Amino acid sequence: MARGAADCPTMTTMPATPPLPFEQHQRPMGLRERKKLKTRIAIRKATYRLIAEQGYDATTIEQIAAAAEVSPSTVFRYFPTKEDIVLTDEYDPVMEAALRARPGDEPPLESLRAVLTGAVASILEKEPEEMGRRTRLMLEVPALRARMTETMAETSSLLARPIADRAGREPDDPEVRVFTAAVMGALREALFHWGERGRQDDLVALVDRTLDVLKGGLRL
């Protein structure tokens, strides 16, 4: 299991997120940072390749390190757990910002709908094959599915803050928490359904549909 998601310098040191989804961060960026990004990407690539060849469980950190030409220690410095190499998700802060940027009089559910569908559409457009790989793995490997679920729970409490602010409540208000948890759960189920269907459907439309279920008060 994820023993301790220790501090990994790369994550805390870097401006925010390397392959930033929407905007760009074009500050000079010295050789040092460029190298770090390269290493990070190399580890990722090596991981995906090895997993494609041998499967997730059969792929060891040692192999990944060798393939990426770094030491095992370095792999752990870049990613706190093996699962995170596959799943690392840089979109949380972006989504929070996007959420805050929404008009204040918009119903919260609609704000979240806009943010989520926007994010999904953006990822789907920029890195479609990466998205496919990740989703497939999430479905196949229990450890990754679990980690993903956990990540979404974290995202849920992250989004609770702006939602609570807007509704004039506390972020730990049970109603606020259920709100974000339900929305993230809907996203999760949409993603899984999409993956199980071979990723042919329109994921954005699926997300929209699932959010409609919530909006309708879970009438079936």
Partner DNA sequence: ACACCTTTTGAGGGTCACTGCCATTTGGCA
Partner DNA sequence: TGCCAAATGGCAGTGACCCTCAAAAGGTGT
- Given the structure tokens 């060849």, which residue do they identify? 53
Taking CB under 8 A as the rule, does residue 195 contact its own copies? Answer: no
Contacted entry of DNA, its own copies, none for residue 30, CB cut-off 5 to 8 Å set by kind: DNA
Which of its own copies, DNA, none has residue 111 at its interface (CB below 5 to 8 Å by kind)?
none
Site stretch for its own copies (CB under 8 A), options 18-26, 29-37, 128-136, 138-146: 138-146
32 or 219, CB closer to DNA?
Answer: 32
214 part of the interface to its own copies, by CB under 8 A? yes
Cβ atoms of 134 and 87 closer than 8 Å: yes
Compare residues 30 and 198 and give the one whose CB is closer to its own copies: 198
Residue 176 DSSP SS3: helix
| 213 sits near its own copies (criterion: CB under 8 A) | yes
- For residue 56, which of 127, 136, 123, 2 has the smallest C-alpha distance? 136
Binding mask 154-183 for its own copies (x = CB under 8 A): ---------x--xx-x--x-xxxxxx-xxx
Residue number, 39 or 180, with CB nearest to DNA:
39
Instruction: Give CA 101 to chain center in angstroms.
Output: 20
Question: What is the H or E stretch that residue 27 is in?
Answer: none
Copy the structure tokens of residue 120: 């999904």
Question: Angle, to 10 degrees, between the axis of helix 108-126 and the axis of helix 174-196?
Answer: 30
Nearer to DNA, 2 or 16 (CB): 2
Q: Is 216 in the site for its own copies (CB under 8 A)?
A: yes
